[in-house]
Structure 1
Amino acid sequence: MSSSLPAQQEKVIYDEAEIPKFTLPDPLVAEDGTKIESAQQWNETQRPYLLGLFEREVYGKAPAAPEKIEYQVTESSDEALDGKARRRQVAIQLTDDPDGPVLNVLMYLPKTDKPVPTFMTLNFYGNASIHPDPAIHLPEGWLRNNKEYGVEDHKATEKLRGQSQGRWPVDLILENGYGLATAYYGDIDPDFDDGFQNGIHPYFYAEGQKKPKPEEWGSIAAWAWGLSRAMDYLEQSPEIASDQVIVMGHSRLGKTALWAGAVEPRFAAVISNNSGCGGAALSRRRFGESVKRINTSFPHWFNDNFTKYNHNEDACPVDQHELIALVAPRPCLVCSAVGDRWADPRGEYLSAKYASPVYELLGVEGLKAEEMPSVDEPALSRLGYAIRPGKHDVMRIDWERYIEFADNHVTGK
């Protein structure tokens, strides 16, 4: 009988009736049982405590920023996309080592003399994949092989250009007065498990250190740290409204966007799309992708401490509604898709719902949806939730909602 136990434990739950009973930690109850009843208590005590728990037990603590950020504008045009946009390509040095990793940021900005609100995002296949514009630099680092995208031997070819453009409606973003800033996440840390020997991690090891300590940063925390370095640049750019930068991410980069929003207060708003386990979905539900499954398939994403919660979610001192609560009182939009059951759409909604009391404590609007919103009837409140038909992807309709959400809660259009 015991030999069948691991197989039973690995069974993927897709039925609400099979979800085990669980109790969520209350974000408004302190470690000693004290009720958090004021914004001051939250900001001075509870928020730092919860942030520390997520650093120690889930994502890992990242190092401080380099003392000085070095960057170089590698290409610039005020007549991009047939004269409709400005294009900027910027190389950001991520460490003090001139031979260290470089984050290459591509920006498309509407043609205006005013600083523009901007979506800051990471992409999966390099900047050239988001648009067929021949002026975009091809990525030079490691890429996941993809024959359809022209990636072989982990290297980009010209075939890569525009392969992901369906996820990036640059025209829609620009027409609505927003800029788009994007960078390839692999510039920060290539997305495969090599024991943290490549990417950003080795540049911060102590003498003799070979890998991060159990409480130190995994790849998601590294990608979030890279988003902060991009923000360092955007903050000093006169073309960007630096108080109106919205961090957005899809899938594993949706997890990254949420964590970046939690640790980086300069992001004005946070949008996660289909972020699932380790993102917006409640871990304790164990619906679709579980903690054990994600830690097994992607052992480099989280810190080593997080493996303690494989098949042991109830023992974790935090759950993902508290991650969303760490974004408060800033706007946060959680987006799901009906066909993406692996990411547990209901669990993503419930995270927003159970984060809502923190928003309300801080004197702003929480989630305006007592029940899970119907498909294509988004609740675009300050803490919002939307679910659409279709699969695990980013679609034009998603961007339409991101823009409406930003209009309502960031720019006040």
Structure 2
Amino acid sequence: MDNRLATLPDLLMCKNGIQVTTAADWIRKRRPEILELFRTHVYGREPQPLSVRFHVAEEKGYMGGKATRKKVDITFTGPYGKGVIPLLLFVPNAIETDKPAPVFLLINNRDNDYLDLDQEEQDEFWPAKAIVDRGYAAAVFHVKDVDPDEHDGFRNGVHGIFEAPGTPDAQRPSDAWGTIAAWAWGASRVMDYLDTDTDLDANRVAVVGHSRGGKTALWAGALDERFAMIVSNNSGSTGAAISRGKKGETIYHINTRFPHWFAENYKKYNDRENELPVDQHMLLSLIAPRCVYVSSATEDTWADPQSEFLSLKLAEPAYRLLSAPGLGTHSFPQPETPIHGKKLGYHLRTGEHDLKEYDWHCFMDFADKNFNY
């Protein structure tokens, strides 16, 4: 398949040299081992909130009666204060009233202009009306409400709530959580709320992210098994794409441009990808046997579509071990020809690094099949 295979860690080989051959050994031994490697070397360690509370600040009809709009404040506390994550949610009214709605949750790393759904033209990045028309609830939160995307020494956002004020960067543990882990933590706090809303089906929640949000969605899905489907769009380096031999953005590039995104330990692997004890197919494997969907764009060479596709293929052994089939093909697809396996999905869209309505309809087609909707 690829000459990089010789340098990759063995997905099913435990650190003690024993090969995993059963689902039980994967669940009890290898999966926790891989999760620990990612916490130590890449994303860092997330804390647990001291408390989480919810307040529905608004609930009213919207979209000409097609949906109910809810604005929810999710308040959490840590040792050094509290924070609030505002959640915007549209629940479809046209579906069977006796059944809760499945949910698409977007981790938003763009501006909020498109959230004004009274505008005549809607932004494709979050086509809430199209999502509702398909029978799904459309939910969104903004990453800046969890942790602003800037390197200020981990004093703002959620980091300042869980770390002692004035702690110098040099005194943070080398496996302390970075901003991507903080955003993933925020997605789990949103999931805490979705679990309580009887209008929603918490067993059918898909979490979606684009670019840095796509990296976040994958880590959130690896940590939080309540997410039934994880969608990573154009996530590239330290997202869906294999790091070894990757074209475009490398570990060095991403750590240099965004030094706050990952644990300090990750910088040890700048230009040393082959020494990293994990690679991104192992991240996708942590989601097995739940659904994973990866999408790429033809002009997004920085993310490297071939490496994103390869990651899905290399995660297949974990899925098969858990009685879930793979993609069903070894061939990299042509644009606009989605591959929808039972638990793994992929498509390549013509165009640039972006999240388009075409992508959303592919995600929903895949969810229709897997959520039996």
TM (norm. structure 1) is 0.85
Name the structure 2 match of 1:231.
191
Name the SS of the counterpart of 1:322 in structure 2. Answer: helix
1:197 is displaced (CA, Å) by 1.0
Match among 56, 61, 70 for residue 73 of structure 1: 56
Equivalent residue runs for 1:4-19 within 5 Å: none
1:353 is displaced (CA, Å) by 0.4
Match among 122, 126, 132 for residue 174 of structure 1: 132
Equivalent residue runs for 1:274-313 within 5 Å: 274-313=234-273
Match among 107, 120, 135 for residue 89 of structure 2: 107
Tell me how far apart the structure 2 counterparts of residues 20 and 329 of structure 1 sit (CA, whole Å): 25
Equivalent residue runs for 1:211-290 within 5 Å: 211=169, 212-290=172-250
Question: Quick check: 2:62–2:69 contact (8 Å CA) kept in 1?
Answer: yes
Match among 345, 351, 356 for residue 390 of structure 1: 351
Question: Quick check: 1:338–1:388 contact (8 Å CA) kept in 2?
Answer: yes
Equivalent residue runs for 1:1-80 within 5 Å: 23-66=7-50, 68-77=51-60, 79-80=61-62
Distance change in 2, residues 1:81/1:327 (3 Å):
same
What is the number of equivalent residue pairs in this alignment? 366
Question: 1:194-235 deviations in whole A, cap 9, x for unaligned?
Answer: 111101002112587344421011000000000000000000
Tell me how far apart the structure 1 counterparts of residues 181 and 302 of structure 2 sit (CA, whole Å): 22
Residue identity in the other structure for 2:326: G
Question: Quick check: 1:188–1:200 contact (8 Å CA) kept in 2?
Answer: yes
More strand by share: 2
Question: 1:81-139 deviations in whole A, cap 9, x for unaligned?
Answer: 2222110001111325896321000001100432100011111245x4233236xxxxx
Question: Quick check: 2:49–2:78 contact (8 Å CA) kept in 1?
Answer: no
Name the SS of the counterpart of 2:124 in structure 1. Answer: helix
Tell me how far apart the structure 1 counterparts of residues 222 and 351 of structure 2 sit (CA, whole Å): 29
Question: Quick check: 2:178–2:263 contact (8 Å CA) kept in 1?
Answer: yes
Question: Quick check: 1:337–1:389 contact (8 Å CA) kept in 2?
Answer: yes
Please, which runs of 5 or more residues in structure 1 have no aligned partner? 1-16, 135-160
1:65 is displaced (CA, Å) by 3.1
- Seq. identity, %: 42
Residue identity in the other structure for 1:168: W
Residue identity in the other structure for 1:48: P
Match among 173, 190, 193 for residue 151 of structure 2: 193
Tell me how far apart the structure 1 counterparts of residues 233 and 156 of structure 2 sit (CA, whole Å): 27
Question: 1:362-412 deviations in whole A, cap 9, x for unaligned?
Answer: 101112121212221111111121111001001111011000110111x21
Name the SS of the counterpart of 1:277 in structure 2. Answer: coil
What is the root-mean-square deviation of aligned Cα atoms in Å? 2.0
Structure 1 residue 329 and structure 2 residue 289: aligned?
yes
Tell me how far apart the structure 2 counterparts of residues 210 and 64 of structure 1 sit (CA, whole Å): 22
Distance change in 2, residues 1:58/1:96 (3 Å):
closer
Please, which runs of 5 or more residues in structure 2 have no aligned partner? none
Structure 1 residue 95 and structure 2 residue 55: aligned?
no
Name the SS of the counterpart of 2:333 in structure 1. Answer: coil
Question: Quick check: 1:129–1:164 contact (8 Å CA) kept in 2?
Answer: no
Distance change in 2, residues 1:262/1:20 (3 Å):
closer
Question: 1:166-217 deviations in whole A, cap 9, x for unaligned?
Answer: 2122222111110111001000000011111101002112587344421011
Distance change in 2, residues 1:393/1:162 (3 Å):
farther
Equivalent residue runs for 1:88-167 within 5 Å: 88-96=70-78, 100-111=82-93, 112=95, 113=97, 114-125=99-110, 128-133=112-117, 165-167=123-125
TM (norm. structure 2) is 0.94
Q: Which moved more, 1:96-105 or 1:259-268?
A: 96-105
Distance change in 2, residues 1:172/1:119 (3 Å):
same
Distance change in 2, residues 1:187/1:85 (3 Å):
same
Question: 1:237-281 deviations in whole A, cap 9, x for unaligned?
Answer: 111100001111000000000000000000011010000000000
